[in-house]
Amino acid sequence: MGALLTGLAAGSLSIWIVLLLFRGGFWRGRERFVCPPEAQRERAWPAVAVCIPARNEADVLPQSLRSVLTQDYAGAFQIVLADDASDDGTGDLARKLAVDLQAEDRLHVIAPPPLPEDWTGKLWALNAAQGEAERLLPDAKYLWFTDADILHDADNLRCLVAKAENEDLDLTSQMVELACWSFWDRLLIPAFVFFFAKLYPFRWVNDPTARTAAAAGGCLLLRRDAFSRAGGLAAVRDRIIDDCAIGLAIKQRGRPADALGRAGRIWLGTSGHARSARAYESLGEIWRMVARSAYTQLLHSPWLLAGTLIGMLLIYLVPPIIALTWPLHGVMPAALAALAAWLAMTLALLPTLRQYRQPLWLALLLPLAAGLYTGMTLDSARRYYGGRGGSWKGRVQAAVPGQGAAVRQDPTDPR
């Protein structure tokens, strides 16, 4: 028993050493969006087509849409909001807000056509918005995709365009700040960002020579010709995790590859210029948000699911279990190795907690957060095989092959 416990603890510690030293410095949080100085200078600003998919967003739209309508951007920009069969007055509220802000000429609210079976709801609405925006602004150089629940600083569009122009980027994406108000927010949201960065180290994402690609769907600025070359939304129309799929498509095909095999140039980082207007105030809300797509991230593979569960257990749960049960098993080498692994993960989370202005002692609870996310992943697989995969705002968007349409209504999922 002593040898087994020591081996498990040493294995976990070894994994943490590798992660901290050789995983792109994912835990440091150094890829932070900073508005370039050029954003404040006089220049010829390119036209931007702004596309917002919205489905039952009346609770947050007065704040989020206002932040887009009032952008301090000297170039031409037109906003198209695709009201995706909302039943809470989202479209009417958007029109009224534009009138109140005297921005009727800038906002256009449309209703997407009926949803095809091979598109997810969000991407179909976004596709309709893009088509209308390009019709209204045919010379647009950039597309700005932003979710309907995101609040932007007044200069965010200007800062995004300045960075894209200065660094010759095909995709500039901000991971917006997520709200941390309740205990569950504080425990799980920084951990979510931490896990995402571990899966997609931002330094690797931003390296044109690396294969890693990702994006954050809340705020995407796309060079229009690069996105078209990568296949546009049609190329990712059935993806639940659409933002990362867009990032990969652009990095692979956004421009002709150079002699070194580099194609599209993308950038992803955290941001203080945009934040979510919606907080996940209960464990159940966060659980549903993660369970919607966790098994999709694993390609609906039972083998990847099993590997993930084993990995989460070994990396996050074994260290505190062995350390806290030392009085029972009495194996000092195992307890010391486990404590070292626990300390490593605790220190690794501190930069993310500082970024979110959260108490640093929460880092000690990373194993608890990891255990909950493991449960969410298991539940995601259960939902998928139960015919409710990808359920979001009343729609099932991922079905087991051979068991019906890819997109259908889910009466059990609250909107």
What domains lie within the chain, and their CATH numbers?
2-26+285-390 (no CATH), 30-281 (3.90.550.10)
pLDDT at 22: 96
CA angle 98-99-102, nearest 5°?
A: 85
Q: Which residues contact 18 (CB under 8 A, 6 or more apart)?
A: none
pLDDT at 153: 96
pTM of the predicted model, to two decimals? 0.91
pLDDT tens for the chain, 415 residues: list them. 889 999 999 999 999 999 999 999 999 999 999 999 988 888 889 999 999 999 999 999 999 999 999 999 999 999 999 999 899 999 999 999 999 999 999 999 999 999 998 898 899 999 999 999 999 999 999 999 999 999 999 999 999 999 999 999 999 999 999 888 889 999 999 999 999 999 999 999 999 999 999 999 899 999 999 999 999 999 999 888 899 999 999 999 999 887 667 789 999 999 989 999 887 778 988 998 888 888 888 888 999 999 999 999 999 999 999 999 999 999 999 999 999 999 999 999 999 999 999 999 999 999 999 999 999 999 999 988 887 655 555 555 555 554 444 444 444 444 4
Asked whether 264 and 253 are in contact (CB, 8 A), the reply is yes
Q: Which residues contact 163 (CB under 8 A, 6 or more apart)?
A: 33, 35, 36, 39, 169, 172, 267
- Torsional class of 269: left (φ above 0), alpha (ψ -120 to 50), beta (otherwise): beta
pLDDT at 407: 45
Q: Which helix H or strand E contains 198, and what residues bound it? A: helix 183-199
Number of Cβ within 10 Å of residue 8's Cβ equals 20
Euclidean distance between CA atoms 338 and 332, whole angstroms: 10
pLDDT at 351: 97
Asked whether 64 and 148 are in contact (CB, 8 A), the reply is yes
pLDDT at 404: 43
Q: Give the C-alpha distances (Å, rounded to integers) separating 282 from 148, 158, 183, 184, 189.
A: 21, 35, 8, 6, 12
pLDDT at 409: 45
Q: What share of the chain is helix, strand, coil (3-state, %, to 5)?
A: 50, 15, 35
